[in-house]
Amino acid sequence: MSPAIRVSAAVLWPELGFEEGVSLSIRDGVLESVGKGSYGLDLRGLIALPLFANAHIHIMDWVIQQAGWDLDIDSLVGEPYGVKYVLLRRAPDDTVREGIETVRRYLIRQGVGAIIEFREFGVRGTRIDCRRRHKHHIVLTMPTHHDERAVEEVEEALACADGVAVSSPHYFPEDVLRSILSLAKARGLMTASHLAEVPETREAGDLERLLGAGGADVLVHGTYLSEDDLSTIASRGSLLVLCPRANRWFLGGEPPAYEALRSGVELGIGTDNAGWVKPDVWREAEALHLILRSKGVSSPEPVLKALIGPSTLAGLEPFAVGSTASFMLVSAEGVGARWSRNPLLSLIKNGGPEHVMAVVIDGRLEYCELPEALCAGLRDVLRGR
């Protein structure tokens, strides 16, 4: 019999069922079975669930905490003269590296297995942690140049990046935009762009400009997209990443989460600028849930899908039989699941980094807050003992 763990419950992917009294057996780092059972290392009191994805973050911003906090969005993060760019340009690489590592560890301890990051400063930015990154930490390079020099810059940066990120389609001439997106596509890498974050960029036709240059896999914000725009995005199969707390902080409005769902757009959740918005996907998930509820959607399922689904874009297999063992263990007591009439809703509403007790990524125990004997036991199970 394969080594196993026994938990109080598990959230299964992709059906999002909440199954109680579950054992998970693991063979050679692969999840061999998940189902009703009472065998294995006794981890009752914990709920196993798939890891989350933070599908949009600017991690570098962490080291310029709350800089220019009373400025408008353009003065703060507009390229290239916004306060953010002026300060980060002067920040030593070691400082930035330390900030990236702090945020990365914090994301893991909240059960985030996949990160999709917009990385500023072109070649310099991607080299800061080249070849030291976690496998599912996707870094998309943002070129510093916006004219034809951007093409060469992206070509060089892609040696240390997983794709290209466009700050705004309006920043680039259309042929340059097409060229930098094509460079990533030709290598099978990811393309992403901010989109319709404020009314002005949408009115100036940012979606048309991006589509004219071939489109991107991942679109971020979409606050001012119309229902027609959302249908177009749904038909192209792009992921739309919503960052409701960043939109609120930067006074950008509320993303059309309900309309996007109704149009069949696939959603992700991102925490955006780490210097001004706490990089906590649990908080972000609650913010998204409250927006959906205001439009009559009280079910937690769309929010869980948005938290888990984008992991695959970062090469992380969600928790399912036959996949590499990647999951988190959350305290059932902490989220009130024992007394809950709707445990998935309790996870979204009461969940948080403080209730994540262990995180397993690709068969490795990356974080463990359980008593040492249980952490050691879990490590043994993952090693096949």
Binding site for Zn ion (CB under 5 A): 272
Among residues 125 and 377, whose Cβ is nearest to Zn ion?
A: 125
Among residues 272 and 362, whose Cβ is nearest to Zn ion?
A: 272
Q: How far is the CB of 347 from Zn ion (least distance, A)?
A: 26
The angle subtended at Cα 368 by Cα 366 and Cα 370, nearest 5°, is: 165
Among residues 167 and 326, whose Cβ is nearest to Zn ion?
A: 167
Q: How far is the CB of 217 from Zn ion (least distance, A)?
A: 15
Q: How far is the CB of 53 from Zn ion (least distance, A)?
A: 15
Cα separation values, 44 from 6, 10, 104, 345, Å? 6, 11, 28, 20
Cα separation values, 220 from 142, 172, 303, Å? 14, 17, 16
The angle subtended at Cα 281 by Cα 219 and Cα 211, nearest 5°, is: 0
E strands, 142-283, are 163-166, 190-195, 218-221, 239-242, 266-269, 272-273
Tokens 């002026």, residue?
86
Length of the chain: 385
Among residues 40 and 252, whose Cβ is nearest to Zn ion?
A: 252
Q: How far is the CB of 209 from Zn ion (least distance, A)?
A: 18
Q: How far is the CB of 220 from Zn ion (least distance, A)?
A: 6
Among residues 21 and 253, whose Cβ is nearest to Zn ion?
A: 253
Among residues 272 and 284, whose Cβ is nearest to Zn ion?
A: 272
Among residues 8 and 54, whose Cβ is nearest to Zn ion?
A: 54
Q: How far is the CB of 118 from Zn ion (least distance, A)?
A: 6
Contact 172, 146 (CB under 8 A): yes
Q: How far is the CB of 221 from Zn ion (least distance, A)?
A: 7
E strands, the chain, are 4-11, 18-27, 30-36, 41-49, 52-58, 112-119, 137-141, 163-166, 190-195, 218-221, 239-242, 266-269, 272-273, 327-331, 356-361, 364-368
Per DSSP, the three-state class of 354 is helix
